[in-house]
C-alpha cells in the first residue's frame, strides 16, 4: 500500500479496500470454512461473517499483535471466528492445529494496513518522526534501523533497488553507510527521510522522495514477498474443489507473484523449441485453478478511499479433480 504524503493533515480512518467485492467473490458454501489471512481491523472478516450460516467457520490470522488485540471483542461475540496471531504464510500450520483440512476460501489483503501506517510509533511512515521500526509483528525480527546499522552498502542498495525500484539506491545506501561510519546511524524516520531527500536529486511529481525507500525497507524487514510465496504454495493442497482464492495487492511486485502463481496453475506453459523436437509428447497439463476475475476499485471507492487506487484484486477457483501428484 502506498505511503501517504508527509503533508497529510490527519490520519485516515481505516477503510477496508474492495470490501464487498472481495467477499462476493470469496463466498461459496455459506456453511463452509474460510481463512482471512490478513485480519487487519476485521473489515473483510466482519462482512464474511454477516453472510455465513451458523455452521460456518472463519479462521482469521494476523502477524500484528495490535490487530489481534483489536479483534478480541469480535472473536468473543461470534463463536464462528477463530482469531490467531500468526503470519499468513503459516495458515496451513494453523489449520493443522485446529484440525481443519481443506477450506472453501482464502483471502489475502496484502500490504500495510491503515492503522499501521497512521500510527507514528510503528515507524512505517515519514509523516511524523518516530523510531525506525517497520515490523508488522513487533514481537520478533529486526527493525529497519537494525538492518540499516548492520547491512553493507551492497545489501542496502539491493533492497532499495529490488523492492522500491529506487533509481538512487546506491547514493542513498552510500549516505546511510557514511553516516554510520561517522557514528551517526539512522534510527528515526525523520532522519531517514531527510537523508533520502538529500541523496535523491530528482523528485517524482506529487511523491515524497522517501516513498520508495520506506516501501523497500518495509517489504524487506517483513519478508513480505517470501511470505506471499509461502502462503500461495499451500493453496493447491488446502483449497477444496470449488474453493476460491482472492488476493488484493497494492504494488506490482506482489501482483506479479499472484498473477504468475494463478496463471501457472491455470494455463499450460508454452513448449520450448527443444521440447517440441522431442519424440515423446510431454505429459498433458491438468489445470488446478480457473481464473475468474481481475478487479479494480471503482471511481467512487477511489474517490472516497485514496488507498484503493493502487489495489488490484485477482480471483481464482480450485478445480477438481486434483492434478497428478497432488494430494486428493
Cα–Cα dist 87/106, whole Å: 14
Residue 14: what pLDDT?
Answer: 65
Looking at residue 308, the DSSP 8-state letter turns out to be G
Query: Length of the chain in residues, anyone?
Result: 328
Residue 181: what pLDDT?
Answer: 96
Domain boundaries, the chain: 19-114+225-318, 138-221
Above 70 in pLDDT, residue 35?
yes
Contacts of 23 (CB under 8 A, 6+ apart): 44, 47, 48, 51
Q: Are 22 and 107 in contact (CB under 8 A)?
A: yes
Averaged pLDDT, 235-254: 97
Above 90 in pLDDT, residue 186?
yes
Residue 6: what pLDDT?
Answer: 34
Averaged pLDDT, 24-39: 98
**Average pLDDT value over all residues in the chain:** 91
> 138-221: CATH homologous superfamily?
Putative methyltransferase TM0872, insert domain (1.10.150.170)
Contacts of 268 (CB under 8 A, 6+ apart): 285, 287
Residue 275: what pLDDT?
Answer: 63
CATH architecture of 19-114+225-318: 3-Layer(aba) Sandwich (3.40)
Q: Are 191 and 172 in contact (CB under 8 A)?
A: no
Report how far apart, in Å, the C-alpha atoms of 309 and of each of 108, 160, 248, 266 are. Answer: 17, 23, 12, 27
Averaged pLDDT, 136-158: 97
In a 3-state reduction of DSSP, which class is residue 297?
A: coil
Residue 15: what pLDDT?
Answer: 80
| Of 8-22, 135-149, 190-204, 207-221, the least confident | 8-22
Q: Which residue has the higher pLDDT, 242 or 323?
A: 242
Q: Which residue has the higher pLDDT, 37 or 2?
A: 37
In a 3-state reduction of DSSP, which class is residue 244?
A: strand
Residue 282: what pLDDT?
Answer: 64
pLDDT in tens, 91-107: 999 999 999 999 999 99
Report how far apart, in Å, the C-alpha atoms of 2 and of each of 76, 207, 208, 297 are. Answer: 33, 10, 11, 15
Report how far apart, in Å, the C-alpha atoms of 189 and of each of 71, 161, 244, 256 are. Answer: 28, 19, 39, 29
Q: Are 70 and 43 in contact (CB under 8 A)?
A: no
Amino acid at each position: 500500500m502506498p505511503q501517504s504524503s508527509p503533508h497529510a493533515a490527519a490520519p485516515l480512518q481505516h477503510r477496508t479496500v474492495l470490501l464487498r467485492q472481495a467477499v462476493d467473490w470469496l463466498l461459496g458454501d455459506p456453511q463452509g470454512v474460510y481463512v482471512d489471512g490478513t485480519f487487519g481491523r476485521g473489515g473483510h472478516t466482519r462482512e464474511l461473517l454477516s453472510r455465513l450460516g451458523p455452521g460456518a467457520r472463519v479462521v482469521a490470522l494476523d502477524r500484528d499483535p495490535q490487530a489481534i488485540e483489536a479483534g478480541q471483542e469480535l472473536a468473543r461475540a461470534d463463536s464462528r471466528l477463530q482469531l490467531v496471531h500468526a503470519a499468513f504464510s503459516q495458515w496451513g500450520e494453523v489449520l493443522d492445529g485446529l484440525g481443519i483440512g481443506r477450506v472453501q476460501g482464502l483471502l489475502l489483503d496484502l500490504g500495510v494496513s491503515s492503522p499501521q501506517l497512521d500510527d507514528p510509533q510503528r515507524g512505517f511512515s515519514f509523516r511524523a518522526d518516530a523510531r525506525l521500526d517497520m515490523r508488522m509483528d513487533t514481537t520478533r525480527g529486526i527493525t529497519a534501523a537494525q538492518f540499516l546499522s548492520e547491512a553493507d552498502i551492497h545489501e542496502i542498495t539491493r533492497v532499495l533497488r529490488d523492492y522500491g525500484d529506487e533509481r538512487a539506491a546506491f547514493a542513498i545506501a552510500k549516505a546511510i553507510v557514511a553516516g554510520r561510519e561517522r557514528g551517526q546511524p539512522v534510527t528515526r524516520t525523520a532522519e531517514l527521510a531527510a537523508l533520502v531527500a538529500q541523496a535523491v536529486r530528482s523528485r517524482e511529481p506529487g511523491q515524497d522522495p522517501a516513498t520508495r525507500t520506506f516501501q523497500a525497507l518495509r517489504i524487506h524487514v517483513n519478508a513480505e514477498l517470501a511470505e506471499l510465496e509461502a502462503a500461495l504454495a499451500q493453496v493447491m493442497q488446502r483449497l477444496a474443489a470449488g474453493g476460491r482464492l482472492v488476493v488484493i495487492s497494492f504494488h506490482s511486485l506482489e501482483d506479479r507473484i499472484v498473477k504468475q502463481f494463478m496463471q501457472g496453475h491455470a494455463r499450460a506453459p508454452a513448449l520450448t523449441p527443444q521440447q517440441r523436437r522431442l519424440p515423446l509428447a510431454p505429459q498433458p497439463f491438468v489445470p488446478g485453478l480457473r481464473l475468474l476475475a481481475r478487479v479494480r476499485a471503482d471511481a467512487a471507492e477511489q474517490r472516497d478511499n485514496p488507498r484503493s487506487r493502487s489495489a488490484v484484486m485477482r480471483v481464482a477457483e480450485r478445480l477438481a479433480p486434483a492434478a497428478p501428484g497432488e494430494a486428493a
